[in-house]
Amino acid sequence: MSENPPSFPNAQQLADAALEHVRSVFRGNGIKKDSIKILSHTVQTHRMNAGTYLELKPVVSERNSPGRTTAGQLTTSRQEAMRLIDQAMLAAIANPVAKAQIANVLLERPDKGFGLNREMLPLDFLKKDFSWHEACPACRGSAQSSCQVCGGRRTETCMKCHGRGLMACPMCRATGLIHGNKCTRCHGQRYIPCDLCRRSGMMPCRACNGLGTSKCQACAGQGSKTYILSLAPQAITYFQYDAKSVPKAAADVIETQAADLAARQQIKIRGRVADDKENVLGASYEVEFPSGEIIFAIGKKEAKASLFGYKAGIENFPLLLDKMIAPAVRSLEEAANGIGSVAGKIRSATRYRVIAQAFLAANKLPDKKAVAALLKNFDLGLSRGMAEKLVMLADKTSANITRKPRYYGLVGGLVLTAGLCAAYYLLPVRSAIATYLPTPKMDFVLDILPAMTGGLLSSVAIKLSGSSAIRKALGHLFPAGKKNTMVSKVHGLGLWGYAAAAVLMVIFIEVAGHIGSGSPYWYEFVRNGLLSLIGG
Ligand SMILES: [Zn+2]
Ligand SMILES: [Zn+2]
Ligand SMILES: [Zn+2]
Ligand SMILES: [Zn+2]
């Protein structure tokens, strides 16, 4: 053994780790730490054989290029290239060395290929090109093709007379007369035969110099082409293990998480190239892992679960937390509907650590993240449905106890906004700034500012007054001396803050218009448009 094998815990150490895990989840949830114990366990080492087998697939692609070149191995024909590809595929598994090279693609992975099922692995070291030459099919090897411009007719329409064969007489400028007498050149006919085509209307094709042929495009005038078949073999994986040789709970884990187990050292695994005897390609494994049933006492309740792997993973743990907090959840449901003392019910329900965490998470994070955080901290005994319910209830009851303060905050924010608008429009600050604008059409910028600032002020005011309520209700969740940094969500009131700030702004623009400070350009534009709509 050249490498240092990681040390693996024994059965007792694993049981202890599992107990620690259960205690860390259940502590503070109405159960004393000391009343959480292991009643019994059957954890022991199991062994099984497994294998990841490979099926080779020749993946072949074809390309061609003009002229005679060589890519990879030069052969005589497509048929020959295909035969060589078949041969290469057979050679790839012909001897133990070649087989080992392929199996090592699996064994050199961090997971040793254990659990890889129906995946395609590229076998780059088996890539190979085969090429051969053929006469160009487009020109049949002549390297020439008929001229694309004249289509092989060798001529094109005369560019001087446009095919008419005649041109205007240059002597009389096509009048037929010179100083009142008949033109001596055209004899009064005004046109003479074209001097370029001699009346034929056609001239030699300029593209091919009248030859009727040009360089073949397909082979770049070479007359032949190179064809290339590229072989890039892939291996398809098939994972197999003997499910009957291991306990059902262990087989379930292997079935669903096999590919993770080796990489995370949850199982001990010895891999080797599959034997010639087995007549297969791939890797064989001898696997060792701890597995067994483990029964916990949690207060007066019993919890039967299964343990798997050297990380002491716990599976099939009953939903005990769900059951234990059920009465507290019912009282929170009442609080969410405003029945009884909401703050009092929150205070008593949050004596359960899992519910307290739900409140802290729900007031800090978006709902989905809050649920994920809760399920991560309480990964035993808590169902996803219950985690979602807790976050929803925490959100709803927090909104209930902060409702009044949040409305006070909104009103306070809007009073501030009104003061701001009054100073801005009536002092008037705004018209003073507006004179610096390059064009009055841009002045809407000056009115976005107070509306946004007002909305922001209201949001901050809502959060501040809501936060003091939530701190009062959840303050007991923070250890003495640790600062309570809980901040309330605006719970939808924020939009009202922005809307009300915009309304306030319009009111003050109207007032400013009436006392002669002038209205913004855009405002006049919109108002006149609206008035003409109403006026018909
Ligand atoms: Zn050609
Ligand atoms: Zn031509
Ligand atoms: Zn003439
Ligand atoms: Zn002509």
**pLDDT tier for residue 517 given thresholds of 50, 70 and 90:** low
Ligand number, closest to the Cα atom of 207: 2
Q: Calculate mean pLDDT across residues 13-22.
A: 95
pLDDT at 149 over 60: yes
Q: What is the overall mean pLDDT for the chain? A: 88
What is the number of the ligand closest to the CA of 158? 4
Ligand 4 center to 206 CA (angstroms): 14
Indicate the range of 94-103, 223-232, 342-351, 470-479 predicted with least confidence. Answer: 470-479
Cα–ligand 2 centroid distance for 67 (angstroms): 24
Report CA(180)–ligand 4 centroid distance (Å): 29
Tell me what percent of the residues of the chain surpass a pLDDT of 90.
52
Average pLDDT over residues 398-406: 85
Q: Distance, CA 157 to ligand 4 centroid (Å)?
A: 8
Give residue 2's pLDDT: 44
> What are 184-199's pLDDT values in tens digits?
999 999 999 999 999 9
Task: Please name the residue ranges forming H helices in 384-520.
Answer: 384-426, 429-434, 444-474, 493-514
> Of the bound ligands, which one is closest to the alpha carbon of residue 216?
1
The answer, yes or no, to whether residue 244 has pLDDT greater than 90, is no
Q: Given pLDDT bands bounded at 50, 70 and 90, which one contains residue 520?
A: confident
Asked if residue 354 lies in contact with residue 29, where contact means CB atoms within 8 angstroms, the answer is: yes
CA of 330 to the centre of ligand 1 (A): 85
Q: Helix (H) and strand (E) counts for the chain?
A: 14, 20
Could you report the per-residue pLDDT of 203-215, keeping only the tens digit for each? 999 989 999 998 8
Cα of 170 vs centre of ligand 3, distance in Å, is 6
Q: How many CB atoms lie within 10 A of CB 427?
A: 12
- Please confirm whether the linkage preceding 96 is cis (ω < 30° from 0): no
Tell me: pLDDT of 536 over 60. Answer: no
Res. 3: pLDDT tops 60: no
Q: Which residue has the tokens 């012909």?
A: 94
- Residue 133 CA, ligand 1 centroid: distance in Å: 13
Centre of ligand 4 to C-alpha 193, Å, is: 8
Instruction: Please determine, for residue 183, whether its predicted confidence score (pLDDT) is greater than 90.
Output: yes
DSSP-based three-state secondary structure for 62: strand
Peptide linkage before 5 cis (omega within 30 of 0) = no
Please tell me which of 42-56, 392-406, 416-430, 438-452 the model is most confident about, judged by mean pLDDT: 42-56
Looking at residue 297, its pLDDT comes to 95
pLDDT at 5 over 60: no
* pLDDT value of residue 83: 96
pLDDT above 70: percentage of residues in the chain: 96
Extract the tokens encoding 304: 């039967």
Residues with CB in 5 Å of ion ligand 3:
169, 171-172, 183, 185-186
What 8-state DSSP symbol labels residue 159?
A: T
**DSSP letter, residue 209:** T
Q: Between 518 and 28, name the one with better pLDDT.
A: 28
Query: Which ligand has the shortest distance to the CA of 188?
Result: 3
Question: What is the model's pLDDT at position 1?
Answer: 40
Residue-wise pLDDT tens digits, 76-135: 999 999 999 999 999 988 888 888 999 999 999 988 999 999 999 999 999 999 999 999
Backbone angles phi, psi at 426, to 5 degrees: -100, -25
Using DSSP's 3-state secondary structure scheme, residue 133 falls into strand
Q: How far, in Å, from the CA of 144 to the mean position of ligand 2?
A: 12
Q: Is 110 left (phi over 0), alpha (psi -120 to 50) or beta?
A: alpha
Most confident region among 149-158, 485-494, 527-536 by mean pLDDT:
149-158
pLDDT > 70? residue 161: yes
**Cα(first)–Cα(last) distance of the chain, in Å?**
95
Distance of CA 466 to the CA centre of its chain: 36
pLDDT recorded at residue 442: 75
Q: Looking at residue 84, what is its pLDDT? A: 96
What's the pLDDT score for residue 438?
78
Alpha-carbon distances of 455 from 492, 495, 502, rounded to whole Å = 13, 8, 8
Task: Lowest mean pLDDT of 42-56, 435-449, 497-511, name the range.
Answer: 435-449
Question: Which ligand has an atom closest to residue 184 CA?
Answer: 3
Alpha carbon distances (Å) from 354 to 32, 387, 392, 401: 15, 9, 14, 20
* Confidence band, pLDDT 50/70/90 cuts, at residue 323: very high
